[in-house]
Amino acid sequence: MRYFFKFDGVLEYYDKKGNLLIQYNRKGVSGKEAFHAYDSTGKIKPTKHPNLLRTLLKSKGSCNFHIKLYAEDRASGLFPLIEFRGLCIKYKTPPWFREAVEAQKYKYYKYD
């Protein structure tokens, strides 16, 4: 999915304390391992593959950004289910993506 989800609007990645997430070290862990460590435990590990780590962080951020946008449009009625399903089929999104959009759309309903 990293070739489809590649925009998240972020230039640099920081944790909640302001620490830079991408720390290069020639003898560090792989980019995938650094991503998994941060994503699952919040620990920042120096990596020997900073570009891969950046790509994985960008893909995750982009995926979350798209889920939010699609959920907002689904809630407002601008993006009918039939069109959303067509988009998911076209881009071969995994089932969890469709489920996340449908689950989050309820947060954006406007009650007057």
Give 8 or 83, the one with higher predicted confidence.
Answer: 83
Q: What pLDDT band is residue 53 in, cutting at 50, 70 and 90?
A: very high
**Domain assignment present for 101:** yes
pLDDT at 10 over 70: yes
User: Are the beta carbons of 71 and 105 closer than 8 angstroms?
Assistant: yes
**Domain assignment present for 94:** yes
**Domain assignment present for 13:** no
3-state secondary structure of 101: helix
pTM of the shown model:
0.78
Q: What pLDDT band is residue 3 in, cutting at 50, 70 and 90?
A: low
**Residue ranges making up the domain that contains 37:** 24-108
Phi and psi at residue 20, in whole multiples of 5°?
-65, 130
Q: How many domains does the chain have?
A: 1
What is the number of other CB atoms lying within 10 angstroms of the CB of residue 66? 19
**Domain assignment present for 5:** no
**Domain assignment present for 91:** yes
- Start-to-end CA distance of the chain, whole Å, equals 38
**Domain assignment present for 39:** yes
**Domain assignment present for 11:** no
Longest Cα–Cα distance of the chain, Å, equals: 57
